[in-house]
């Protein structure tokens, strides 16, 4: 296998859940093309992601999306220097679709391929923006399946500072939205509703902020919201006020823990990633905290907060450039510890 041409474009494939993402990233040139197909409409009537339907839809959409992305980048397959794909964590069937396509393509083209950790992809997404932050930094990863604070000493040098004990932040948004009768996917709908709510009309707990530590727990908030909704007059005003109360509780909790993680680690930079990183109030609150405390905060552009192929192409390119790649076995890891990744020299 030829690994001498890694500054050539790298194709990235994301298929860990309900989004098919494909992108091409070239070291030195940046992102050449990025395409996304979301399965939201497919899963909407079930109120959540149905794994088997997700896998089948990835099968239908992935190859056309790869062709479309390559055309948008103005590239021929022979121009590629490597292929990166999400190897985990995620839904096993969905992951296998991306892994099989990536491995087959790499084998046919005789170029290296690498399986990327989905959360490393999220974590590095803010580095795709202009003036990218450099390690060491603290990363707040808040997505549909994760709420983590990670100390990043370098690429691949990750230490978990805090984790969720139950629901992830995005999951809490989605479940709370469902309780309030909002359509799937709930997070963005709840955030939109909260815009119309009044701050302070409902005040919910800031879980685990009154004791030391960097772990999160969001499942109790759901019960508080449910009780508040049951005891309310069920008016639109009450619904919006409750949504606002919930959002403020989550945002303040995340902000307290970010400040604590920065103080504990001595890092001066905070990086925020994952779907909840698209939340406007979270971005504003963390930006204000950064100004007040004198640290830097970096976010990905909105469409790179949620799943996308660009973050996988980028993370994969960094590892391929360092000479990392694997044999052609199609292997996925539905559960995968972020701290177990090898460092990039
Ligand atoms: N504006 C927003 N405010 C709050 N939550 C949001 C917003 N936009 C998206 N989300 C939430 O982000 C989550 C989706 O993010 P993402 O695509 O990163 O997660 P995932 O890929 O499903 O999970 P993971 O990356 O942990 O496997 C959903 O839970 C969604 O509700
Ligand atoms: Mg994700």
Instruction: Tell me the per-residue pLDDT of 153-203, one tens digit each, with 9 for 90 and over.
Output: 999 999 999 999 999 999 999 999 999 999 888 999 999 999 999 999 999
Residue tagged 């995005």 (tokens): 170
174 lines ligand 1 (CB under 6 A): yes
For residue 1, the model assigns a pLDDT of 41
Residue tagged 């996304």 (tokens): 36
For residue 4, the model assigns a pLDDT of 52
The CA distance from 7 to 94, in Å, is 29
Residue tagged 């972020």 (tokens): 338
121 lines ligand 1 (CB under 6 A): no
State the angle between helix axes of 219-230 and 169-179 in degrees (0 to 180), rounded to the nearest 10: 20
- Among residues 33, 37, 100, the alpha carbon closest in space to that of 69 is found at 33
Across 92-101, average pLDDT: 98
Task: Check residue 47 and give left, alpha or beta (phi > 0: left; psi -120 to 50: alpha).
Answer: left
Q: Which ligand is nearest to the CA of 95?
A: 1
What DSSP element (H or E) covers 114?
strand 113-117
128 pLDDT above the threshold of 80: yes
Number of helices and strands in the chain (H, E): 10, 10
Residue tagged 């999400």 (tokens): 86
- Confidence band for 5, pLDDT divided at 50, 70 and 90: low
- Among residues 277, 49, 261, 257, the alpha carbon closest in space to that of 142 is found at 277
Residue tagged 């052609």 (tokens): 328
Domain 135-299, CATH homologous superfamily name and number: ATPase, nucleotide binding domain (3.30.420.40)
Q: Which ligand is nearest to the CA of 175?
A: 1
What DSSP element (H or E) covers 140?
strand 137-142
2 pLDDT above the threshold of 60: no
- Among residues 278, 285, 281, 227, the alpha carbon closest in space to that of 259 is found at 285
User: What Cα–Cα distance (Å) separates residue 136 from each residue in 104, 129, 236, 267?
Assistant: 36, 17, 45, 6
Query: Residue 140 forms beta bridges with which residues?
Result: 149, 272
Give the architecture-level CATH label for domain 10-124+305-340.
Answer: 2-Layer Sandwich (3.30)
* Ligand 1 atom nearest to CA at 18: 22
DSSP 297: E
For residue 197, the model assigns a pLDDT of 98
- Among residues 124, 103, 120, 142, the alpha carbon closest in space to that of 337 is found at 120
116 pLDDT above the threshold of 70: yes
- Confidence band for 6, pLDDT divided at 50, 70 and 90: low
Across 246-256, average pLDDT: 98
Residue with CA at minimum distance from ligand 1 atom 15: 275
Residue with CA at minimum distance from ligand 1 atom 9: 275
Query: Residue 30 forms beta bridges with which residues?
Result: 26
pTM of the model: 0.96
Q: Which ligand is nearest to the CA of 300?
A: 1
* pLDDT tens per residue, range 272-315: 999 999 999 999 999 999 999 999 999 999 999 999 999 999 99
- Among residues 233, 252, 248, the alpha carbon closest in space to that of 198 is found at 248
Query: Residue 35 forms beta bridges with which residues?
Result: 22
For residue 190, the model assigns a pLDDT of 98
Domain ranges (residues) in the chain: 10-124+305-340, 135-299
Decide if 10-124+305-340 and 135-299 have a common fold.
yes
CA of 117 to the centre of ligand 2 (A): 10
* Ligand 1 atom nearest to CA at 89: 27
């Amino acid at each position: 296998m030829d690994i001498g041409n890694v500054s050539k474009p790298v194709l990235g494939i994301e298929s860990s859940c309900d989004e098919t993402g494909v992108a091409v990233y070239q070291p030195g040139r940046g992102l050449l093309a990025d395409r996304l197909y979301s399965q939201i409409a497919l899963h909407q009537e079930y109120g959540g992601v149905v794994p088997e339907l997700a896998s089948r839809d990835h099968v239908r959409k992935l190859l056309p999306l790869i062709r479309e992305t390559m055309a948008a980048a103005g590239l021929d397959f022979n121009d590629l220097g490597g292929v990166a794909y999400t190897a985990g964590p995620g839904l096993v069937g969905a992951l296998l679709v991306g892994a099989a396509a990536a491995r087959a393509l790499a084998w046919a083209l005789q170029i290296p391929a690498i399986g990327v950790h989905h959360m490393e992809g999220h974590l590095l997404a803010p580095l795709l923006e202009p003036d990218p932050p450099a390690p060491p930094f603290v990363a707040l990863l808040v997505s549909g399946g994760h709420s983590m604070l990670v100390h990043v000493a370098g690429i691949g040098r990750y230490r978990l500072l805090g984790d969720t004990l139950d629901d992830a932040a995005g999951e809490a948004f989605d479940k709370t939205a469902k309780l309030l009768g909002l359509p799937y996917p709930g997070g963005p709908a709840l955030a939109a509703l909260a815009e119309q709510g009044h701050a302070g009309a409902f005040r919910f707990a800031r879980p685990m902020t009154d004791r030391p530590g960097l772990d999160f727990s969001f499942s109790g908030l759901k019960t508080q919201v449910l009780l508040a909704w049951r005891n309310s007059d069920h008016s639109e005003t009450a619904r919006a006020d409750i949504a606002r109360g919930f959002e403020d509780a989550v945002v303040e909790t995340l902000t307290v823990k970010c400040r604590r993680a920065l103080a504990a680690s001595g890092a001066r930079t905070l990086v925020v990633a994952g779907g909840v990183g698209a939340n406007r109030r979270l971005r504003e609150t963390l930006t204000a905290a950064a100004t007040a405390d004198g640290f830097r905060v970096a976010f990905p552009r909105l469409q790179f907060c949620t799943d996308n192929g660009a973050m996988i192409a980028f993370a994969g390119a960094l590892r391929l450039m360092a000479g990392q790649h694997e044999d052609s076995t199609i292997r996925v890891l539905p559960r995968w510890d972020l701290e177990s990744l090898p460092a990039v020299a």
